[in-house]
Amino acid sequence: MTIESEVQSLRQVSMFRDIDPAKLKLLAFTSERLSYEKGDVLFHQHEISDSTYVIVAGNVEVWLSAGNERIKVTELGEGAMVGEMGVLIDQPRSATIVAGSHVVALKIGREVFFDLLRQFPQMSLAVMRDLARRLDATNAKLLAVTR
Amino acid sequence: MAKIDKSFFRYVWRNSRREQITILAVVLASLPLYFWSLDLPKSIVNDAIQGRAFKNGTATIKAFKVVLNLPDFLGGKSYELFGGLDMERATYLFALSMVFFVLVLINGGFKWLINLQKGVMGERMLRRLRFDLVRQLTWFAPEEIRGMKPAEAASMINNEVEPIGVFIGDAFVQPAFLGTQALTALVYILVQSVWLGIAAGGIVAIQGVIIPILRREQIRLGKRRQIASRQLAGRIGEIVESSPAIRAHATDPYERSEIGSRLASLFFIRLDLYNRKFAVKFLNNLLAQLTPFFFYTVGGYLALKGQLDVGQLVAVIAAYRDLPPPVKELIDWDQQRNDVTVKYEQIIEQFDVDEPHEGEELAAAEEVQRSPKISVDGLSVNDLHGTPLVENVSFSIDQPGHITLAGPPGSGGEVVARAIAHQITRWKGTICLNGQNISRLRSGSLARVLAYAGPEPVLFPSTIRDNVVYSLRRKPPELPGPPLPKEEVKRRHEAERSGNPLEAPGDDWLDFAAAGVKNGVELDHLILHFFALLGFEEDIYRLGLLGRIRAADDEKLGHQFVAMREAIRKRLAEEGKSRLVEPFDPKRFNSNATIGENLLFGEPVGEVFAEDNLPSNPYVSKVIEADGLATRLAEIGLRLAEMMLEMFAGVQAGNALYERFSFLASSDLPGFQEIVNRSRSRRRSETTADRDKLISLALAYVEPRHRLGLLDEPTREAIVRARSRLREMIPKSLASSVEFYDPELYCNAAPVRDNLLFGRVAYGIANAQEQVSAVMKSALADGGFLNAVYRIGLDYQIGAHGRLLFPRQRAAVDLARCLVKHPAILVLDDALRAFPGMEAKAMLGRLAEEFKGRLLITALPGLDDAVPSDLKIRFDKGRLVGIDRGEEALAPSGEVNLSARDAAEEQRAREPARDEATRETPQDSLPTTQQDSPASAQEDEGAVQTQVAE
């Protein structure tokens, strides 16, 4: 697995689709490529948000816990980004992420993430677009629920 | 011992009387021979050359006849003591010349002896003076010493006293020696010819009067220069201390200009000095040359007229040759005297402190150890400008327990804590320890029963262990009796002669009994026990893994650690974690190590084989040239450089991304761009320097980490081949610069962790480091080696002010230092502030538990209600507002008041500035107290880097 193939996977991520390949290479190079076995935890809810993850292969489960209850909210697959919200607003992790299969993820440190956003406006735009899309989806869901 | 005398000459005389007198005696003894050596030329010229002794036509005379003529009142008889030798004229000339030569040798010998003695005596006195100054430094009250600038004090004791020491040897001897010598010469000239004597004396007198007047200005300038350079030393110290602030505010141009102007004033003072000095020198030389002019004209005239014979004239001129140097040196001496006494008085003024009263021993020491009682009566403390910090505080406790000095930060509790610990010494009222006033105690006896930990741990640049056991270094070792080795006898003799202590520093000072242990190993275990209490154990373990075995003291441990390699590997396999570690194998490429590590396959000792130096090392480049490996590596470096240039294009120079990820610093980019361009256009024409740079890049490459796909199998094989060549052919001269990895041997140069693992943790597997660490720890625990690792951790060097530790760790070291001496009373003055709230609370609980049956006094902002206490003294705005005893005090809310902790932080930040503002500062200065707090931001970063590097 080399940077080149990681760049290919990153291009699958919706928010990175429009970004110059050289910049994606930089993103891949400055991040850590980690593999997880099924059941390994990427991060726990309430932990400090020190990095974001891009899932390069496999899928992860998103778990929320309140009191003693734990519920699986959703599963995310290849190309998903997790943990970026907490990093952006400097809040603890809002959920626990567990590997649902063998997972390969790129771990982008908090500082690197910000550096990249600052350096490359396209990247900031991509993150904004992604967040806006998610907000839009949430609004739609909310509407569906309240109707 | 008395304090240093204010008068320089009194100080010198009092402390070196015997030596001065001895040297003076030698000087006096040398004079008759000196006089004779002046007289001899006359005999040579008159008697031998001109043949006056042979006037009567005799061919031989009785030479060197010694006759003792008794004065008339003793009978006036003559006794011939030595009949003399028969000599011809030529023989007589040679004999006289030989005598002259011997006299020259003897006089030289006297000079040598006198100079040597002077030098030795001066150095001895210098040693005494420095020692006395340092001793007086320790006499200052804590309030006073805060006003002193460390760099200036160091500059005074170290540099400024140096010329004083040189002068001490001359202080009495020089005037005596030169004075008598000049006087002898002058008397001799006078005896030969009154006129010439008067002329010579007159010119000497002119020299002696005019030149000192001219030099007065020089002295004034010298003094100005001394003060200016001391201030420069102080400023440089400040720059070092405030470097984080300078960087943060980019004020370096300002600082530079400030230093520039100081250097300019030093320069101009010296310029003025030179102007004076060389003018005086010119005058001096002129006068010295003027005298021979008189001698040749007047003396020659007298000789022509027959009033002076030629022999006399030659002798007078020879004697005069000896006259100006002593006079000049005497004038120099006088100037130095002025200079040095001024300097001396200036320095002594800075160290003007009275010897503290001897103080009483703690009468009830044993009772205090068993059951300490404290009573505070009418305690009032003012700050330096008279504002009350606490007023009229009284309370007492007559049994062991926990006293909380509670209240919002700055309300006075911490001041009371400091007063009890004698960190403040100026107060009104009394503080009694088991009925004895602590102000009257010898400081040593309070320290024996009381330990104090404040907000700013004071740490020394040494190991963790040394810092902890510092509190036990208080038992002067017994001096071994004879027979002593020669060196030791000499050492003690010299120490005695210069008023220094006879005991040598070292571990003999440790008071094992106070810690309740018998030896160093037990002491280590005790320290680890306290570190466990303070939650510092895990850190010590990690530092131990990063540490190195001290080769000399533990060969066996090395073997045992080698044996652990197998155990750890087995355990990893059992837990299915083998893939987490790629072991070192001399015959295989380790893909999780850098290319450089793979090539060297050993731990560099010193700089020769450090990774940066490998490509340019002639031996290494010869080895990698052999089968084209160098070309391959340069190729990898080139592609790496190309990729970096491509990827980092558009990233601004100086961006942190470079520092963290790029193989190149942003400042190297243009250079590498050129190398890449050169290589691309004409591949073959790279220079060696280019090539070395490219290989250097390649050496840091790790495939699974950087994932650039630059390593192919043939290259890996070539590297492994080069590795064995490198090891086999290494020349003797380089063999000590590297310790090669060997599966069977312990590598002393490498950290313990690398030795245990003997491999690299694989990149790209989540939490691999943590998992490997856990396996390693359990294997070590089972093997019984955890303590060995902990003890190596205690050897960790913590850097200046403990900068290589986190604040939390620094606080733990300071607390352990307090605990290890088993004090009956522990005073905590905001000593837990480096710990987060909940951790601080837990720790306070553990400390209170540890101090059951002893006395714990705490002034910990935010933790007033965290744990139960037996007595809670509540303060507000410097006044005692309530005392909760027993049940009332025992009902804590368990709360940690975070805002109080923050407020305490702010309060403390303000404090030094306030003190500083009110201090009478003779020199302009920036605050230097609390000097390590501004640096701590940077320090901590350093700590992180070092400790996380594993």
Q: A26 and B709 in contact by Cβ < 8 A? A: no
Structure tokens at B570: 């087995």
Residue B929: predicted pLDDT? 36
> For each successive 10 residues of chain B (950 residues), what is the average pLDDT?
80 88 87 81 79 72 72 73 77 86 89 88 90 88 79 84 84 82 81 80 80 77 83 86 84 88 90 85 79 79 80 77 75 81 83 76 76 89 85 88 88 90 88 86 83 91 91 83 83 86 80 87 91 89 87 75 90 90 92 91 88 84 86 89 83 72 74 81 68 87 87 91 90 88 88 91 87 90 89 89 89 94 92 86 91 91 85 88 74 71 72 43 37 39 41
Task: Note every long-range contact of B319-322, with CB atoms under 8 Å and residues 24 or more positions apart, other chains counting.
Answer: B319/B38, B319/B185, B319/B188, B319/B189, B319/B192, B320/B185, B320/B189, B320/B200, B320/B291, B320/B292, B320/B295, B322/B38, B322/B181, B322/B185
Residue B917: predicted pLDDT? 38
Query: Class of A3-138 per CATH?
Result: mainly beta
Cis peptide before B292, with omega less than 30 degrees from 0? no
Best interface-test mutation with A: which of B577, B639, B643, B647 has the largest number of A CBs within 10 A? B647
How far off is chain B from A143, nearest CA to CA, in Å?
A: 39
Q: A32 and B708 in contact by Cβ < 8 A? A: no
Specify whether the CB–CB gap between B467 and B460 falls below 8 A.
Answer: yes
* Interface contact B579, partner A, CB < 8 A: no
Q: What are phi and psi of B688, to 5 degrees?
A: -60, -35
Residue A141 has pLDDT above 90, yes or no: no
Cβ-based contacts of B645 with chain A (< 8 Å): none
How far off is chain A from B244, nearest CA to CA, in Å?
A: 21
* Interface contact B709, partner A, CB < 8 A: yes
Residue B683: predicted pLDDT? 55
Q: Which helix (H) or strand (E) holds B873?
A: strand B871-876
Strand ranges across the sheet with A96-99: A41-43, A96-99, A60-66, A69-76
- Alpha-carbon torsion, ordered B122, B125, B127, B128, to 10 deg: 180
Q: Which DSSP string corresponds to B704-730?
A: HHH------HHHHHHHHHHHHHHHHS-
Structure tokens at B72: 């008339």
Cβ-based contacts of A22 with chain B (< 8 Å): 646-647, 649
Cβ-based contacts of A6 with chain B (< 8 Å): 707
Q: How many contacts (CB atoms, under 8 Å) link A and B?
A: 58
Q: Which DSSP string corresponds to B195-243?
A: HHHHHHHHHHHHHHHHHHHHHHHHHHHHHHHHHHHHHHHHHHHHHHHTH
Domains of chain B, residue spans: 8-70+77-350, 365-458+823-932, 585-740
Residue B944: predicted pLDDT? 39
* Interface contact B245, partner A, CB < 8 A: no
Alpha-carbon distance of A82 to B182, in angstroms, equals 95
* Interface contact A121, partner B, CB < 8 A: no
Split at pLDDT 50, 70, 90, the class of A18 is confident
Residue B859: predicted pLDDT? 92
Alpha-carbon distance of B926 to B922, in angstroms, equals 12
Q: B707 and A26 in contact by Cβ < 8 A? A: no
Question: Angle B417-B420-B426 (CA atoms, 0-180°, nearest 5)?
Answer: 100
Alpha-carbon distance of B692 to B820, in angstroms, equals 53
Q: Which residues is B722 bridged to in the sheet? A: none
Cβ-based contacts of B709 with chain A (< 8 Å): 2-4
Alpha-carbon distance of B517 to B525, in angstroms, equals 9
Nearest CB among B643, B651, B765 relative to A119 is that of B651
* Interface contact B649, partner A, CB < 8 A: yes
Alpha-carbon distance of B391 to A14, in angstroms, equals 69
Among all residues of chain B, which has the CA nearest to that of A30?
Answer: B661
pTM: 0.71
Alpha-carbon distance of B679 to B664, in angstroms, equals 17
Q: Above pLDDT 90, what percent of chain A?
A: 16
How far off is chain B from A22, nearest CA to CA, in Å?
A: 6
Question: Angle B299-B303-B309 (CA atoms, 0-180°, nearest 5)?
Answer: 110
**Residues in contact with B271: Cβ distance below 8 Å, sequence separation at least 6, in sequence order:** none
Residue B1: predicted pLDDT? 54
* Interface contact B656, partner A, CB < 8 A: yes
Domains of chain A, residue spans: 3-138
Residue B34: predicted pLDDT? 80
Alpha-carbon distance of B322 to B36, in angstroms, equals 14
3-state secondary structure chain A: CCHHHHHHHHHHCHHHCCCCHHHHHHHHHHCEEEEECCCCEEECCCCCCCEEEEEEECCEEEEEEECCEEEEEEEECCCCEECHHHHHHCCCCCCEEEECCCEEEEEEEHHHHHHHHHHCHHHHHHHHHHHHHHHHHHHHHHHHHHC
Count CA atoms within 13 Å of residue B48 on its CB side.
19
3-state secondary structure B82-116: ECCEEECHHHHHHHHHHHHHHHHHHHHHHHHHHHH
Q: B707 and A30 in contact by Cβ < 8 A? A: no
Interface of A with B in 63-102 (CB under 8 A): none
Q: A4 and B709 in contact by Cβ < 8 A? A: yes
Alpha-carbon distance of A94 to A52, in angstroms, equals 13
Q: Using the 8-state DSSP alphabet, how is residue B828 labeled?
A: E
Alpha-carbon distance of B395 to B408, in angstroms, equals 19
**Residues in contact with B336: Cβ distance below 8 Å, sequence separation at least 6, in sequence order:** B163, B167, B170
ipTM of this complex: 0.83
pLDDT tens column, A88-118: 888 889 899 999 999 999 898 888 888 888 8
Instruction: Give the CA distances from residue A113 to residues A11, A26, A88, A135, in Å, rounded to whole numbers and listed in that order.
Output: 17, 11, 9, 21
How far off is chain A from B702, nearest CA to CA, in Å?
A: 12
Structure tokens at B721: 């081949």
Nearest CB among B647, B706, B765 relative to A35 is that of B765
Alpha-carbon distance of B331 to B24, in angstroms, equals 19
How far off is chain A from B721, nearest CA to CA, in Å?
A: 26
Query: Class of B8-70+77-350 per CATH?
Result: mainly alpha
Alpha-carbon distance of B752 to B758, in angstroms, equals 10
Residue with tokens 């700089």: B607
Q: Which DSSP string corresponds to B656-680?
A: HHHHHH-SS-GGGHHHHHHHHHHHH
Alpha-carbon distance of B925 to B596, in angstroms, equals 50
Q: Using the 8-state DSSP alphabet, how is residue B379 labeled?
A: E
* Interface contact A129, partner B, CB < 8 A: no
Among all residues of chain A, which has the CA nearest to that of B709?
Answer: A2
Q: B707 and A33 in contact by Cβ < 8 A? A: yes
Closest CA to B506 of B461, B466, B451: B466
Which architecture does CATH list for B365-458+823-932? 3-Layer(aba) Sandwich (3.40)
Cβ-based contacts of A2 with chain B (< 8 Å): 707-709
Q: Which residues is A43 bridged to in the sheet? A: A97
